[in-house]
Structure 1
Amino acid sequence: MHVPDGFLDAPTSIATGVVAAGVVAIALRRARTELDDRTAPMAGLVAAFVFAAQMINFPVGAGTSGHLMGGALAAVLVGPWTAVLCLAVVLLVQGLFMADGGISALGTNIVLIGVVTTAVGWLVFRALRAVLPRRLGVVAPAAAIAALVSVPAAAAVFTGLFAVGGTVPVESGDVLAAMLGWHVLIGIGEAVVTGLVVASVVRVRPDLVYGARDLIRARTLEIREAGRPT
């Protein structure tokens, strides 16, 4: 889904750049509440994993490409604000050193891949956690469904941006059909990857999964309560 230079007009690119800068600035402050000495190294691992996963690109037509995004995965593992920072760094490196996405479109790519997928993925994950049983076993399936929803959501937002400021002579309806069609398939693949990765970490070190912290605290409290003399 990396948007190239010139695909959106200057006003749209500037607007998304302002939004991206504002969200990243907020994330820099809010991420402090998500990270500690144990989970901070996880952020680096998540960024590296997402960077590698995004190297697998799938053509989706109309001059764009799609790939695994990692927003929901990062949000569940390290928290939504830290996830935004991880993805912003990944996109910055890709844009500057690998020509993956345009420099003028960096803000657009951060909004779509770093903000939309993270926000949608985290909100869907939290909604599922609210209605599913409070067990560690539901964390990975909830993360997988969140990843599935987040990918076409970002594709739909891109179509909206294209309708407002697209510079390529392609009908918005054709772009929407191509983007959603391919990104639903990509979302299924991302759901599988996200579910497997989260399940693996939960099985080995559930205390490192941000999306499972409340369950770990509740389980620890239950153990302590059970150990107290009556």
Structure 2
Amino acid sequence: MNGVAMHIANGIVNAQVSAVFAAIAAAALAICVWRGRADLDDRLAPMAGLVAAFIFAVQMLNFQVLPGVSGHLLGGTLAVVLVGPWVGALCVSTVLIIQCLLFADGGLTALGLNITNMAVIGTAAGYLLVAGLLRLLPKTPRGVAVTAFVASIVSVVVASQAFVIEYALGGTTELSLGTIAASMAGAHVLIGIGEGLIAAVTVATVARVRPDLVYALRRFRTTRPAVATQKTVGAQA
């Protein structure tokens, strides 16, 4: 079962299912490129490079969770908080492609599976939680830190369970789905807590120094007072 925990190795999932998810990953990335162009500007472009470099560094840290099974940080939630869902998914995908081609971390035939799980599903789950929590929590460094912590844990576990579905569709070894699901969930809750702490500290630091560089704070800032002010001025006129 070596390589199962997040970076999927060649041969863990059969060729047919791997090909399907390669097509899904390619389509998802094409959409991210299309939508991400609208977000990229002089402020976001350099931040995206820094986020990709940071994710690359933290993903090199592997944690032994079971004999022959390791896990690592994903960085998807951190990316969506700082640079948004579309650019964030591209950042994670870039890291996964480099790791696969240069460091043989994850199989080439499984690259579509890894991108789908970590760059697409992981970041999507993280973004949905960030969007929901920041409508309830204050848009402050502390609020965005709590948001990043909670969303990181959930997104990591969701991404790990995506592998369970893929394995159910085309797994090549005789392992119990229940055992795999429980092992992946348990291990990645712990990994998610570690990732959540790193993400929380990172985004809180950036939010204190340069809140304008935090995509989530710009995207979900409160606009109601401004609208109310405009209505008041209109009524007085």
Task: Decide: shared fold, TM above 0.5.
Answer: yes
Question: Against the structure 1 CA distance between its residues 170 and 200, is the aligned structure 2 distance closer, same or farther, given a 3 Å change threshold?
Answer: same
The corresponding residue for 1:38 is 43
Deviation track 1:3-46 (CA, whole Å, cap 9, x = no partner) reads 00000001110111011000000011100122210111000000
Following superposition, the deviation at residue 214 of structure 1 comes to 4.0
Question: Contact (CA 8 Å) 2:93, 2:115: kept in 1 or not?
Answer: yes
Residue from 8, 13, 17 that aligns with 1:3: 8
Alignment: residue pair count: 226
Alpha-carbon distance in structure 2 between the residues aligned to 1:96 and 1:70: 19
Report the TM-score, using the length of structure 1 for normalisation.
0.91
The corresponding residue for 1:90 is 95
The corresponding residue for 2:154 is 149
Report the TM-score, using the length of structure 2 for normalisation.
0.89
Following superposition, the deviation at residue 153 of structure 1 comes to 0.6
Following superposition, the deviation at residue 216 of structure 1 comes to 6.0
Question: Contact (CA 8 Å) 1:207, 1:216: kept in 2 or not?
Answer: no
Q: What aligned pairs does 1:154-165 form with structure 2 within 5 A after superposition?
A: 154-165=159-170
Following superposition, the deviation at residue 121 of structure 1 comes to 0.3
Alpha-carbon distance in structure 2 between the residues aligned to 1:217 and 1:133: 10
Alpha-carbon distance in structure 2 between the residues aligned to 1:88 and 1:194: 18
Say whether 1:18 aligns with 2:23. Answer: yes
Following superposition, the deviation at residue 135 of structure 1 comes to 4.1
Question: Against the structure 1 CA distance between its residues 214 and 176, is the aligned structure 2 distance closer, same or farther, given a 3 Å change threshold?
Answer: closer
What's the secondary structure of 2:71's corresponding residue? strand
Q: What aligned pairs does 1:106-121 form with structure 2 within 5 A after superposition?
A: 106-121=111-126
Question: Contact (CA 8 Å) 2:131, 2:220: kept in 1 or not?
Answer: no
Alpha-carbon distance in structure 1 between the residues aligned to 2:7 and 2:77: 17
Alpha-carbon distance in structure 1 between the residues aligned to 2:11 and 2:33: 29
Question: Contact (CA 8 Å) 1:75, 1:83: kept in 2 or not?
Answer: yes
RMSD: 2.3
What's the secondary structure of 2:63's corresponding residue? strand
Residue from 196, 203, 224 that aligns with 2:201: 196
Deviation track 1:113-150 (CA, whole Å, cap 9, x = no partner) reads 10111000000010111222344541121111111110
Question: Against the structure 1 CA distance between its residues 16 and 47, is the aligned structure 2 distance closer, same or farther, given a 3 Å change threshold?
Answer: same
Question: Contact (CA 8 Å) 1:60, 1:179: kept in 2 or not?
Answer: no
Q: What aligned pairs does 1:30-109 form with structure 2 within 5 A after superposition?
A: 30-61=35-66, 63-109=68-114
Say whether 1:139 aligns with 2:144. Answer: yes
Following superposition, the deviation at residue 65 of structure 1 comes to 2.4
What's the secondary structure of 1:130's corresponding residue? coil
Deviation track 1:88-117 (CA, whole Å, cap 9, x = no partner) reads 110000000001000000000000110111
Residue from 185, 190, 213 that aligns with 1:185: 190
Say whether 1:212 aligns with 2:195. Answer: no
Deviation track 1:52-82 (CA, whole Å, cap 9, x = no partner) reads 0000112334754210000010011000000
The corresponding residue for 2:173 is 168
- Structure 1: state its 5+ residue gaps: none
Alpha-carbon distance in structure 1 between the residues aligned to 2:218 and 2:148: 14
Question: Contact (CA 8 Å) 1:54, 1:67: kept in 2 or not?
Answer: yes
Alpha-carbon distance in structure 2 between the residues aligned to 1:109 and 1:60: 19
Deviation track 1:158-180 (CA, whole Å, cap 9, x = no partner) reads 11111111112211111111101
Give the partner amino acid of 1:148: I
- Structure 2: state its 5+ residue gaps: 1-5, 231-235
Give the share of equivalent positions with the same residue, in percent.
48
What's the secondary structure of 1:60's corresponding residue? strand
**Larger mean Cα displacement after TM superposition, 54-63 or 31-40:** 54-63
